[in-house]
Structure 1
Amino acid sequence: MLPDLQKIGETLREKRQEKGLTVVNISDSLCLRKSLVQAIENGDWSALPHEVYVRGYLKEYAHLLNINDDALGLDVPAEETVIPEVPAHKEAIARERRVGKKAIFYPLIFVLIIAFFVLNQIYKERSVSKSAPREVAQPASVNVRTAPGEQAALPEFVEAKKLMVTCHERTWVSVVIDGTEKKEFMLNPEDIIILNAKDNFDLLIGNAGGVKLNLNGKDVELTGQSGEVKRVKVS
């Protein structure tokens, strides 16, 4: 557990007030509920989640106020604790994987089916054209054929933004999708999650050196060291 959450909370509150910031300002900047910010400043453990998350929140709060981690005692190694299993997060990861595979698989099958019928129709038209007797070539018969380009046009697909998060060091990840939907994950090495959005992703990563990001097949540059809490916006 943290050395003295009560003292840390008082330090953060005093620094915030010196800068003329309100609890609402901090809540908006860190994407945290107002009640969590108040619980941190009051040192109220009963209103806070597991220590792993609290350490991340405190570091983000401290960085926002330009306070060194050393001044708050946040870099003191914590006693070894057993991170509680979060079945809902595991289930969410599996669900994201299934949704990601379906989002790729079904449109691909649909395109292949359309392509098959278009190519089959073109082949039939060419076969009829080659087998027709040359003596019967009449001007009117030329208009009977339909140009290949006039076959059923392939529908245009508007591809959603897909963000793949690959974990190689244990970490927690909090993400806000399109500014409305918030999700949280506890990831182990080799875990992969796929997230979908129309516009953007706002991530808070507990171990920036432990994950890789890939947006629509392209790697996203992520600078961070192991154990560093990092906030990243991807769009």
Structure 2
Amino acid sequence: MDEELPQTDIPTVGERLRAAREEKGLTLEDIAAQTRIPRRHLESLETSEWDKLPAPTYSTGFAKSYASAVGLDRTEIGEQLRAEMGGQRAAVTNTEIFEPADPARTMPKWLVLGAIAAVIVIVLLMSYLNERSLDSGNEPSAAEVTKQEPPAPQPAQQPQQAQPAATAQGPVVLTATGPAWIQVTDQGKTLFSGELAPGQSFTVPATATAPLLKAGKPEALRINVGTAVAPPVGPPGKVASKVSLLPADLMRGPGAPAQAGPATGAPPATGNTAG
């Protein structure tokens, strides 16, 4: 008589999964929501209906995710399932094992959105600080002193004939063609005192009644009266002082006779002098 083989009472993977689920009071719908595995595949795992499951590699992944959801050892469940499926295992191929994402290891949606928002805030803050840095670097160093582009070199030409004083109109602008120290006063009040860098300019206020100029290097200054260029205010290499910055006096040039004063008996305007 053939000897009977001993019966083993080891529960199958499906029985272990079902028992653990029922012990936790969970339904198949609960497990499907947690693991994102279709309910029909979960049922097939519990009933060991391998023909209703996809390839063994996918089935093993399903079983591992199910095990994590009910508190069983993933590795142990996976190994037991492969042993139970036995000859139904597919031939070894390079197919990647698909395992559904474990909800416990998935990054929460709020954390992803928070990280994106933080990056956007940092980019906006860096842009704001960069613009403020550029703005602060462009502040003028002295009142009414504006930096202009250095004048383009012009070919040598005959000295421009000064326009008649009667036609001189517009603001008086002093522009440095090289480093030039100047001082502008009006009836004892200093309007500007300092060095102009090449390309910088100073506009005499229209409210000045008797502005006077003192220039360390007259040859480093170009003086405009409106669109007209005034003659030099002094010889090169000598300090020019007490130079009248009234349009009419500038256009007459140094040494030109001053115009007669008003009919009210006021003294004539002071001419430009170099000292």
Indicate the structure whose relative CO is greater, using CA pairs within 8 Å and at least 6 residues apart.
Answer: 1
Q: Which has the higher helix share?
A: 1
State the TM-score, normalized to the length of structure 1: 0.32
State the TM-score, normalized to the length of structure 2: 0.28
Which structure has the larger Rg? 2
